[in-house]
Structure 1
Amino acid sequence: MKPAYERVDFGESCSIRVYHRRLPKIPFEWHHHPEYELTLTMNSRGKRYIGDSVSEYGADDLVLVPPDLPHTWASNRSIDASLPQVAIVIWFDGDWARRMADCCGEYEPLRRLLRRSASGLAFASDAATAVRERVDALLSAEARVRLAATLDVLCLLADAHGEPLASPHAFASSNAAGRAGRAGRPSGHEPERINRVLALIDARFAEPLRLAELSAAASLSERSLNRWFVQHLGESVGRYITRVRIGHAARMLADTSLPVSVIALRSGFPNVSHFNRQFKSMKGTTPASWRSQFANGNTTATTTVNLTERSPSLQRRKSRRGTKKSP
């Protein structure tokens, strides 16, 4: 399923965009854009699709999506049926955030947040509660108040617990694949030695990879390499390699009709039973169930997928002439 490209309109003289979305249900709108997106979803239950990550979500769901990673939420059930489903959406540019960190030491946490969010992050409930407490400021009529609240929220999230979501291979399905095909690696200003290891994993994930070989490529001890991975990517080397392999397998399950055994082998799992266990552990479902669910774009049994519906908070680039839809 090809994601639609969406153009975010920041408005005149604004460095961020905040949107207050209220709907009876959240439609399936599979899309991507070059901005970071922080979304707090309230009074809603359904499925969250972030690249090749598919998860159930509920009250106060807080997720940071990196640039060019296809994503959508989909729900037709409100927690409180008498109230609309609500999403507070914040878009911001990565270069802007890094410049803020460069010129103001107080905003150094922004750089840390960008590093951690390379594959998307789902934050814990305490972080969602902290953001919810700042909603009034985020929705202020004053642009400077919205900006200050956003900076406060982003710095807070830099140290908050978050679960990595998509695998690096999830970026390859967007229109920006040429630019973001290896976007699962850290976002700028990271040690070149780690980038060498990431490039090696990206090129040879289907082969047996020994930690000693990866450590040699980085000119680091095995212990130091693992420590750097945890610091910059939020997970161990072994966990990262497994996510790369499972992400590749997930894309093949969605995009091809190859047997599961063949997909397992091409993804670096010579043992199908081991592949099935790892896939279910990471994705929460079997390869066969995932293929049926994601390849068809199903959300819930009663949800109709309609990719022609567009969020009023976004502008779609329909042609080279720049035709736009008003937000």
Structure 2
Amino acid sequence: MGSHVDGRADLEVVLPRSGESIRWVEHGYPSALARWHHHIEIEIHLIRKGRGMMMAGDGMVPFDSGQVSLLGSDVPHNWISELDPGEVSIPKRDVACQVHPERIRALARIFPEAGRILTLLRRSGQALVLSGASARRAATILIGMGAHHDLDRLIDLLAIFRIFIQAPRREWMTVVTPGYVAEAPDGMTERVNQVLAYITAHIADRITLEEVAAQVVMSPSAFSRFFKEAAGINFSALVCRLRTARASLLLVTTDLPIARIQSLSGFGNAANFNRRFKMETGTTPRAYRRAYRH
């Protein structure tokens, strides 16, 4: 499903431990690391538990436990979890490893056998997501990498790359539009994250341009221009896509009646819900649920 806000995300400086080129990290949600951000390093990322929306570049897809992704250099990304009633955090939600792409290029220059990894890295600019048996194998290796160092960690990294390269077509997808380039004016990072946080928190409510503009201390007209430049789509289109992503997730992961999902996703009536959902996904909410449950 297409979507959302691209723009300039926070730059994260990745610092592996001394003597290591592959950084391994785990963290919970919420976390200072769980935000809209980018870095030059290639990242392999596992969502160990929880469900919600993955945002990468100009794309957005629902995620569930076990999702494994490969994100290319400087692809902005974030995962926003749906917290259950009374739930305030998800400990150790994320596991990731990061490596500078030049390390991989240097390896391929010395070992021609690694040439297919360079092709994989070019594809990773579209944010690759694994599913099925491929995702399960990659997740097991990525989790185990935390206890490994030196040569064992390098072997783990190459093994995960091999899984992405050899994954059957039915077990991988891309999230980002081909040719996507993140461009935005300086100083927008904080405002973009404020907008995303506000919309996510109020997705079931009526959300107006005026309300969100006030959150970032801008006039509605200035905010509208700013947002169009940052996202490449207008504000109402972003809200619609976020609502559709919420509905898609609830349709697949819950048994809630479709009328209730319509309400929780912020669609005012059934006709509008069906029309907007079909416009974004190509199918109706009922057909979408049926397709993903078979």
Bin of the TM-score, shorter chain as denominator length: 0.5 to 0.7
Quick check: 2:55–2:77 contact (8 Å CA) kept in 1? yes
Q: For 1:201-216, what aligned pairs fall within 5 Å after superposition?
A: none
SS at match of 1:146: helix
Alignment correspondent of 2:128: 121
Alignment correspondent of 2:24: 18
Alignment correspondent of 1:38: 44
Counterpart check, 1:67 vs 2:73: yes
SS at match of 1:149: helix
Q: Which moved more, 1:96-105 or 1:52-61?
A: 96-105
Alignment correspondent of 1:165: 175
Q: For 1:96-175, what aligned pairs fall within 5 Å after superposition?
A: 96-160=103-167, 161=169, 162-167=172-177, 168-173=179-184
Q: Give the direction of change, closer, same or farther, for the CA distance of 1:23–1:157 in structure 2 (3 Å limit).
A: same
Alignment correspondent of 2:232: 252
Q: 2:27 corresponds to which letter in structure 1?
A: R
Quick check: 2:26–2:92 contact (8 Å CA) kept in 1? no
Q: Give the direction of change, closer, same or farther, for the CA distance of 1:173–1:99 in structure 2 (3 Å limit).
A: same
Counterpart check, 1:5 vs 2:7: no
In the TM superposition, residue 249 of structure 1 has moved relative to its aligned partner by 10
Q: Give the direction of change, closer, same or farther, for the CA distance of 1:61–1:87 in structure 2 (3 Å limit).
A: same
Alignment correspondent of 2:199: none
Q: 2:119 corresponds to which letter in structure 1?
A: R
Within 2, Cα distance between the matches of 1:66 and 1:135? 17
Unaligned runs of 5+ in 1: 176-247, 258-285, 295-300, 303-327
Within 2, Cα distance between the matches of 1:73 and 1:83? 12
Unaligned runs of 5+ in 2: 1-6, 187-227, 246-263, 266-294
User: In the TM superposition, what whole-angstrom CA distance separates every residue of 1:109-154 from its partner, at most 9, and x where no partner exists?
Assistant: 3112112222211122222101122245311242322221111111
Within 2, Cα distance between the matches of 1:172 and 1:34? 15
Within 1, Cα distance between the matches of 2:118 and 2:155? 17
How many residues align structurally?
Answer: 193
SS at match of 1:56: strand
Quick check: 1:3–1:173 contact (8 Å CA) kept in 2? no
User: In the TM superposition, what whole-angstrom CA distance separates every residue of 1:53-108 from its partner, at most 9, and x where no partner exists?
Assistant: 11110021111111112111111437xx8973422101112121122122123423
TM-score, normalised with respect to structure 2: 0.56
User: In the TM superposition, what whole-angstrom CA distance separates every residue of 1:152-182 from its partner, at most 9, and x where no partner exists?
Assistant: 111221232431211233422497xxxxxxx
Instruction: Considering fraction of residues, name the structure with more helix.
Output: 2
